[in-house]
Homo-oligomer: A and B are copies of this chain.
Amino acid sequence: MSTRKPNDYKSELKPIWCPGCGDFGVLASLYRSMADMDLDPAKTVIVSGIGCSSRLPHFASTYGVHTLHGRPLPVAMGVKLANPDLTVIAVGGDGDGFAIGAGHFPHASRRNIDVTYLVMDNEIYGLTKGQASPTSLFEQKAPSTPFGNPEDPLNPLALAIAAGASFVARGASFNTKALTELITQAVEHKGFSYIDAMSPCTTFNNTQESWKDAVTDVAPDHDPTDRVKAFDLALRGGFSLGILYRQERTTQTERYKAILEQAKPSDVNVMLDGFNARKGAAIGKPA
């Protein structure tokens, strides 16, 4: 039973988000999920990039790394690899994760890094005042797409499934109960878990009402272990909330642990001896 309350995870800083911003709902869900899991704040690290959503770590009373635009995933990987005892949650925006950070996402997925990645997807760049993001709709008008967005949006869930993420889900900021539950499942999942959290930007892309109308739940008979079906579901229109894909696979942490077990213990003196000139180091690459 949990001894911590959601409020225990609140920091002394008040969120600076606009009134109505979806990120409030995501943050509330995260507080609640952390309380449900009774996470030790001192052993929890929230890692983010840059953007409105990426300010989140400052509002949580845990350890946090507010990194650079697009870089939360590799930083989170370093945190987890260096200290596997920690619970590591990466958060950020759709621009952060799928524009400038797009190169890291497939690798986090295939490596099955033991990190939960929670993207507050508002289909826009909030912090820089409303430009189109990689998830903005085709033909959407925005300050840098005055003629309508000429690009088709990326589908982060489909991408995650293709790249090898082992847990892929969708939640919504306006549905905090379900989102709380999803976050808990994601954090408890072994390996890389990705949650696309629909989180409207009320200032620059107010989709709140239309999204509320559009969401449905993943059908109860959906088999989340079927990768092709999950892909199919990810491609379909409408927003199905819930777990699209889940796979049991050894995690990066486990694989590196295995390497540590495999490696013959040594020390620096032995290594130095390997270079001994009299004994003659191996040809080409001595020692």
Contact = CB atoms under 8 A, between A and B. Distances in A.
A161 B228 CA distance: 12
A4 interface: no
B228 A106 contact: no
Interface stretch (A19-27, A47-55, A146-154): A146-154
Contacts of A188: none
Interface stretch (A36-44, A107-115, A177-185): A107-115
Interface string A219-248: 000000001100110010000000000000
Given A159-B159, A159-B162, A262-B147, A154 B228 contact: no
Tell me if A's interface is mostly helix, strand, loop or mixed. Answer: helix
A212 interface: no
Chain multiplicity (copies): 2
A86 interface: no
A72 interface: no
Interface stretch (A96-104, A119-127, A265-273, A275-283): A96-104
A99 B111 CA distance: 13
Given A111-B152, A147-B263, A150-B255, 7 more contacts: A106-B159, A110-B151, A111-B150, A152-B249, A154-B164, A159-B163, A228-B231
Interface of A: 98-104, 106-107, 110-112, 134, 147, 150-155, 158-159, 161-164, 227-228, 231-232, 235, 249, 252, 255-256, 258-259, 262-263
